Structure 1
Amino acid sequence: MATQPTQGFLARVSGKTKQLFGLAVSAGAADAGKLVATDSTGKLDMSLMPVGIGANTIIAPASEAIGAGKFVNFYSNAGAMNVRLADNSNGRPADGYLKDAVANAAAATVYPLDTTNTALTGLTPGARYWLGTAGGVISAALDSTDTANVGKLCQELGVAKSATELVTDDLGYITL
């Protein structure tokens, strides 16, 4: 449950002055007509937004534990879509990434490419990055003339905005 906002307002309720606070999280129709307040991050909680407005994400079960910031691959697991770590060494292209870590078999919130992954570390602003192994990134494209790279995926992921932010692109990949 969200904490109560720090700012309130005075209103007349049943003939008496009462201090009221904006709603930081909605319980649905029971909260119709109430004033809203931002949460501790200064943003509106998604429960206050209308249907169709919100983060562009896909929720899918994780078939392994996946860390925050890792790039993931969608795949069919016994006919159901699941996510696993993307990996340039075993034919698993990146379809999106996670901002929060998730345990094996838990619901993963996957952010699509063409958005900004803000859960990384150690990036060089302005540098380009490619898919590495185990959902990670590397700072150079795989060399297509190196026979050790035969069968691996070369997928450019985007450019670093800061040490922790990668502005991703959905550029596709090639199999070397």
Structure 2
Amino acid sequence: MATQPTQGFLARVAGKTKQLFGVAASAGAADAGKIAALGPDGRFDQSLMPAGIGASTIVAPASEAIGAGKFVNFHANGGAMSVRLADNSNGRQADGYVKDAVASAANATVYPLDSTNAALTGLTPGGRYWLGTAGGVINTPLDAADAANAGRICQELGTAKSATELVTDDLGYVTL
């Protein structure tokens, strides 16, 4: 017998006792009235939540390939909003980040600053981080007195909670 991903319960269906299982993701109206079950991460899937409840995200096409955990910049691309890698070296401030990698021209789900980016590696817990190049982070702010930094963006992103989690802040940026 196949293992079910959720706990089962007994119910009377058409006069007979039948074992049923909760749904971990909704297919929409076809699942109306069914009992919801937590997913493998111990949380409800976004498809089970009412409209307006859940992560505050923006979905936009990526104008380049973007890796998981990278910070991104919103920009106009052919008259439509798109996302690309944020970069302190070329005037692209961080407007948010992606949790999952996305291919060029595919839709990216962008999470806002003032949340936790848990798709990073190599962070020092308690350490402060700033925007680096190609959507990455650096652990030292750019020096405004260094002529090589002229025109670059210095944007503080937040504090590391663990080696993989950065609690981000929306502190704005300064063009040096």
| Structures share fold, TM-score greater than 0.5 | yes
Give the drift of 1:30.
Answer: 2.2
Q: Secondary structure at the match of 1:53?
A: coil
Map 1:12-161 to 2 at 5 A: 12-161=12-161
Task: In structure 2, list runs of 5 or more residues that go unmatched.
Answer: none
Task: In structure 1, list runs of 5 or more residues that go unmatched.
Answer: none
Tell me the amino acid that sits aligned with residue 48 of structure 2: L
How many residues align? The count is: 174
Give the drift of 1:34.
Answer: 1.2
Q: Secondary structure at the match of 1:23?
A: coil
Q: Secondary structure at the match of 2:73?
A: strand
* Cα deviation code 1:11-33 (max 9, x no counterpart): 12122111111111212122211
- Distance in structure 2 (CA, Å) of the matches to 1:6 and 1:22: 6
Using the size of structure 2 for normalisation, the TM-score is 0.96
Give the drift of 1:5.
Answer: 2.7
Tell me the amino acid that sits aligned with residue 169 of structure 1: D
Give the drift of 1:56.
Answer: 0.9
Q: What's the C-alpha RMSD, in Å, of the aligned pairs? A: 1.1
- Distance in structure 1 (CA, Å) of the matches to 2:131 and 2:6: 44
Give the drift of 1:91.
Answer: 0.4
Give the drift of 1:4.
Answer: 4.0
Shift >4 Å, 4+ stretches: none
Tell me the amino acid that sits aligned with residue 53 of structure 1: I
